[in-house]
Every structure is written in C-alpha cells, then in structure tokens.
Structure 1
Amino acid sequence: MLYFSDLLQYSDVFFSGLMTTVLLTVLTTFLGIALGTSCAAIRQYGNKASQSVVAVYVEIIRNTPFIVQLFFIFFGLPSLGMKLSPWEASMIALTINLGAYSTEIIRAGLGSISKGQMEAAKVLGLSFCQTLTRVIFTPAFEKIYPALTSQCIIVMLGSAVISQISVEDLTYAANLVQSRNFRAFESYFVTALLYLGLSILLRFAFNTVGKRLFAYRSTQ
C-alpha cells in the first residue's frame, strides 16, 4: 500500500531542500554563464597561451564525472590547505562544471558571427570590449540561448549528487525522509515530481527572460 499522507509531516523538509536547490541553481547559473562567457571569449579571441589554458580546463571538466569533480573539491583540496564547507564546495563544483560546458556553447555562438561585423565595428571606432558587448554578444547569445538554458537545467538536475557531501538539497531531503518513515517509493516519487516541476518552471523563466532580452528583433 502507498501512503503519501505520511509525507505531510515532512513537508517543511522537502520545502527546505527545494529552496536550497533553487538557490544553488540561481547562483551557479549566473556564475557559470559568466565564467563560460569569459572563457569562450578567450578561446575565440585570446592568444594561444590563454586559449590552451582554457582548452585544458574545458576538456578536463567535460571528460570527467561531476561527482568526481565534487569529491575532488570537497575531499581533495583540504589536503592542500583549502578546506571548504559542503555549500561552498557544491557551488564551486557546479559553477566550474557549467562554465566548461557553456564555454563551448557560447564559443559556437561567437564563431557564428561574421567577421564583417567585427570590421564594421572597427570602422565605427569601437574598442574591442565595446565590439563584444554591443555588436557580438547579443546576436551570438540569441543563437545559442536554447542550448545554453537546456544546459543550465541539466546542471540543476545533476546537482542531486551534492547530497553525497551532506548539502541539504532536495535529494538530501528525500533520503532523510525515507530513512525515517521507510516510504522510499513515496519519497522519491514526490522528489521526482518536484524536480520535474522545477525544470518546467526554470524553462518557462528562461523563455520569458529570452523574449525580453531579444525583443529588439521583433522591432526590426
């Protein structure tokens, strides 16, 4: 028999875990995209030395499991004198992970912009930074926005493993509840629904933001 009513007394636990997941997602989305944008610009326009450094970072992160990256930061770095709290380690790991994947996504967008636009910006007397911010980034981000937002949602779903280092996120809440009432099916079923709902809300939020960011297209 299934007894979902047994979970009602733990609603505050689920809510707290959900809020932790949402907060980490929001923070790491901003930080990860900022990191990815910087790295993408370096890979596209930087010198060979800086491009090589970014390329190594991207390849290491994209070709190793996220849980290994998380464990390395939380359990490995303390041996070098860098002790981090579970929250700090999770935020750093998620940011670095999203940064690596978003680097390649954003670089593809930058590469799709014709060199003619760069040359036109030079003729107008714009500096390199002005060219990037006013001429290159907006159309580039418009092209890769769906892929970038999907990657953010994937990272959010992958964040479930941070419960392994005792971050009290949504998955941690599910583990805690089922260990107390032994209702594993009900606990994880509700957790799955919460992750599904969060994914749908995030996609809706990203789509809404995208329409505002690129609304200028409809006026052209």
Structure 2
Amino acid sequence: MSYKFDFEFLAERWPDFVAGAWLTIQLTVLSIALGFLVGTLCALARVYGGPVLRRLAGGYVEIIRNTPLLIQIFIVYFGLSSLGLKLSAEVSAVLALTINMGAYTTEIMRAGIESIQRTQLEAADCLGLTRLQTILHVVLLPAMERVYPSLGSQGVLLMLASSITSQISAEELTATANLVQSDTYRSFEVYVIVAVVYLALSALYRLGFWAIGLILFERRRRLGTPL
C-alpha cells in the first residue's frame, strides 16, 4: 500500500469545518426543539383528541416514518418552490428535519403518555386540578421523564441524519467536506476528519441531553441517571 496520508490542507481549511459544524448544530438544535413541540402536540392529539385529530396525527406519523428523509427534504425544498414559496436551503432543512423529528417524537411521547396510570389522573381530579394543569404536571413531565433516553437518542440520530441536507446545498458539515475534498483531492483524509467531528458532536449532544435531564427531572437527578 503506497497511499500517504496528508493533512496539511487542514491548516488552511479548518475554519470551513468549524463553520460547517456550527451550522449543523444550529440546524439540528432548532429542529429538535421544534420537532419536540410538534411531536408532543400530536401525541396529545392521538391520546386525548377526537376521532378526526387522532386520524390526522396518525396519518402524519405513518407518512413521515415510512418515507425517506431525503425525499421529505426534496419535497419541502423543491416542492414548495414549485408552488411559489421559495425558501433558503437552511430554512428548508430546518422545516424538513422538524417534520421528521416531530413524527418520531409523537410515537415516543405517546408511549410515555399512555404509561401514566389512570389512578394518577383520578388523583389530579380529586385535588381539583384543571385539565391543563393535569396535562402539564401529571401527564407530560412524568411521561417525558420515562421516555427521555429515547428522546435523547432520537435527537442524536437527527443530528447525524442532517448530513443529508447537503443534497439541497445547505452548507453544513457534510457539504463542507464535499467542497473541501473537491478542492484538495484528499477524500480519505477529509471524511476521516468529518467522521471524528460527528463523533465529537454526538458526544456533545449526549452531554447536552444529560445536562437538560439533570435540570428537568429531580428524581433522575437524585438517582444520578438523567439520561
């Protein structure tokens, strides 16, 4: 094997990798937050909503979970543009990732909500809590605590899947890698670097979810298992 590794280009191109990683973080953090909101609302609709809401939420989940993320991104970016709504690559990426995250979060949160025992709801009624107070304090927070590891893992998976947004020219980490390797012709070295960066980002996201778990869940904080 005569191949010689050459990472000299990194001295000049490292700002590009930093910029790409930063955009990846921005896109995915926003998508995770919005996706969690969408998923939680859809989960509540599936559990407590009427027949129409349940069917709509269920159809949304089935459509998104059974189609490729790449196709969803193309539909948002090219489809909306064909209808006259032109969005930037970054906005389209956030919208598509949010829709995707929302569908998976719906099923995760639904499992958590359905795990709440009926006796807890009856106790909330006896205490005179309103329906909104019951949902917020008796249902949502305990449900989120029970499924939090799954939510964290889904967030990390979404961050890794965000590499697909390079296909619509969103200048995140993978798009940056494609540009650098086309300029330097050092494909092997470039993608090794990107793999290391994604590993670091995965560790950073897990650390972030761990810290959020410490803040949100007192019981997990006492047990030392926030994630």
Q: Same fold (TM over 0.5)?
A: yes
How many residues were matched structurally? Answer: 220
Asked if residue 185 in structure 1 is aligned to residue 180 in structure 2, the reply is: no
3-state SS of paired residue (2:9): helix
Unaligned runs of 5+ in 1: none
Structure 1: which 4+ aligned runs deviate by more than 2 Å?
216-220
Q: Which residue of structure 1 aligns with residue 115 of structure 2?
A: 112
Q: State the distance in 2 between where 1:193 and 1:109 align.
A: 34
Q: Which residue of structure 2 aligns with residue 130 of structure 1?
A: 133
The normalised TM-score by structure 2 is 0.94
Amino acid at match of 1:150: S
Asked if residue 146 in structure 1 is aligned to residue 149 in structure 2, the reply is: yes
Q: Which residue of structure 1 aligns with residue 10 of structure 2?
A: 7
Q: State the distance in 1 between where 2:187 and 2:76 align.
A: 30
Q: State the distance in 2 between where 1:89 and 1:125 align.
A: 44
- More helix as a share of residues: 1
Q: Which residue of structure 2 aligns with residue 98 of structure 1?
A: 101
Unaligned runs of 5+ in 2: none
Q: Which residue of structure 2 aligns with residue 42 of structure 1?
A: 45
3-state SS of paired residue (1:151): helix
Amino acid at match of 1:97: N
Percent sequence identity over aligned pairs: 47
Q: State the distance in 2 between where 1:219 and 1:20 align.
A: 35
The normalised TM-score by structure 1 is 0.97
Amino acid at match of 1:160: S
Asked if residue 204 in structure 1 is aligned to residue 220 in structure 2, the reply is: no
Amino acid at match of 1:203: R
Q: Which residue, out of 89, 92, 103, partners 1:89?
A: 92
* Native 8 Å contact 2:214 2:221 kept in 1: no
- Could you report, residue by residue, the CA deviation over 1:143-169 in whole angstroms, capped at 9, with x for unpaired residues? 100001100110110000101111110
- Could you report, residue by residue, the CA deviation over 1:176-209 in whole angstroms, capped at 9, with x for unpaired residues? 1000000000100000000000001110110121
CA-atom RMSD in angstroms = 1.3
Amino acid at match of 1:152: G
